[in-house]
Amino acid sequence: MAKRCLKCIISGRVQGVWYRAHTQTQAEKLVITGWVRNLPNGQVETLICGEEESVTMMQTWLTKGPPMAKVLNVEVEEVSVEVHKEHTEFKIID
């Protein structure tokens, strides 16, 4: 199975709506590793790594987010799968 890693920046109403916690829950369901954090400008940044199909499903989820979020945009950057080796779980970073 092919591995894939994406760095995503999510814009909209994504802070103060449990976006990071829901992202972690979804990532764990899909066996995704990486991290998620709030950015000072009100956006959320995440690194998602895993099997290609799981990463695609996670990317789709990020465009919706949890019920109280209002996602306006998701910028996606493909990153080296070598990053995947650095992460064994999915963490919320402060």
Q: Which domain holds residue 59?
A: 3-93
**Over the chain, what HEC string results?**
CCEEEEEEEEEEECCCCCHHHHHHHHHHHCCCEEEEEECCCCCEEEEEEEEHHHHHHHHHHHCCCCCCCEEEEEEEEEECHHHHHHCCCEEEEC
> pTM value?
0.93
**Active site positions, annotated:** 20, 38
Residue 80's CATH number: 3.30.70.100
pLDDT in tens, 31-84: 999 999 999 999 999 999 999 999 999 999 999 999 999 999 999 999 988 866
pLDDT in tens, 79-90: 988 866 777 899
Domain count, the chain: 1
